[in-house]
Amino acid sequence: GENVEQHPSTLSVQEGDSAVIKCTYSDSASNYFPWYKQELGKRPQLIIDIRSNVGEKKDQRIAVTLNKTAKHFSLHITETQPEDSAVYFCAASAKGYALNFGKGTSLLVTP
Amino acid sequence: DAGITQSPRYKITETGRQVTLMCHQTWSHSYMFWYRQDLGHGLRLIYYSAAADITDKGEVPDGYVVSRSKTENFPLTLESATRSQTSVYFCASSDREWDGYTFGSGTRLTVV
């Protein structure tokens, strides 16, 4: 089955800096790549997603890039703010549902 | 996101007991999912359903049973709970493929 690797497991940045989280996937048939943010004690929430026919997608300070050849995709957060502190999960799927998640990245943004 | 609710929020049960976690959504979404979340493992898929009366195994289905007789409900049953099933369980739903999930608030289950 699909295997999604996520790095780093923890990331600390200063407010205003950029943060990048990277994921690789094993199933070349995967065609849907969402990212979720989970604040402490809360449910995961979708923040951005990309399909395999698109190389990059941006939403305000958040962007996702996809390299199908290398089978990796990344989340980029610019101008980080303390409220960006959370655990971020990448996921992949060949069906568009039944997501396989990475193990998460704990992002800490310090003022 | 009050449209998907899980109950109970917290549950303590004893080893060997049967326990059922409930998940209800009000949107008539086709797809529903059960994940467990454990430190160091992220979110792992237990079972999913593409429609009423259609269910399929995920990555970690052993020890769990699901049913989906109605579109809005997707209960998860632990037939004989074990300590290794202590976890936070999230239910999620999605209207269609490539649409992302909406998660419930989760159930924290402790097996003693």
DSSP A66: E
* Beta-bridge mates of residue A14: A110
Of B42, B48, B50, the CB nearest to A101: B42
Q: Point out the residue among B42, B59, B106 whose CB comes nearest to the CB of A89.
A: B42
Contact (CB<8Å) A43/B104:
yes
Give the pLDDT band of residue A1 (cuts 50, 70, 90).
confident
What residue in A sits closest to B37 (Cα-Cα)?
A: A103
Task: State yes or no: pLDDT of B98 exceeds 90.
Answer: no
Among B2, B4, B13, B25, which residue's Cα sits nearest to residue B77?
B13
Q: Rounded to the nearest 10 degrees, how much is the dihedral formed by the CA atoms of B55, B72, B78, B97?
A: 40
Shortest distance, CA B96 to any CA of chain A (angstroms): 8
For A46, which of B35, B42, B100 is closest by C-beta distance? B100
Residue B2 has a pLDDT of 61
State pLDDT tens for residues A19-56.
999 999 999 999 999 999 999 999 999 999 999 888 99
Q: Would you call A27 an interface residue with chain B, using a CB distance cutoff of 8 Å? A: no
Whether B1 has a pLDDT exceeding 60, the answer reads no
